[in-house]
Amino acid sequence: MNISDCRKMQLWCLQRAKTEPAQSLKWLGQAERWRTLGRNQSQQTQHAGPMSMGPYTVNGDVRNKQQA
C-alpha cells in the first residue's frame, strides 16, 4: 500500500464520519490509523536520493586520490 492509498482511505473514513454521526468515533479512529500508516510509509520511502554526497563522485572514489 502506498502513501496515496493511505491518504484516500483516510479521507474516505473522514467522509464516513460525517455521514454516519452515530459511528463517527469509529470512523475518526480509522482515519487516524490510515494517517499514521501513511506517515510511516512516507518515512520509509524517504532517502537521500541520487544527489547525495559521499566518497563516490562523478570522477570516482576520491578518498585515496592525491590533491593537486
β-strand partners of 56:
61
Give the model confidence (pLDDT) of 6-49 as tens digits. 999 999 999 999 999 999 999 999 999 999 999 998 888 765 55
Helix (H) or strand (E) holding 61: strand 60-61
> For 1-68, where are the E strands, in sequence order?
56-57, 60-61
Which is more confidently placed, 53 or 25? 25
Domain residues of the chain, as ranges?
A: 3-45
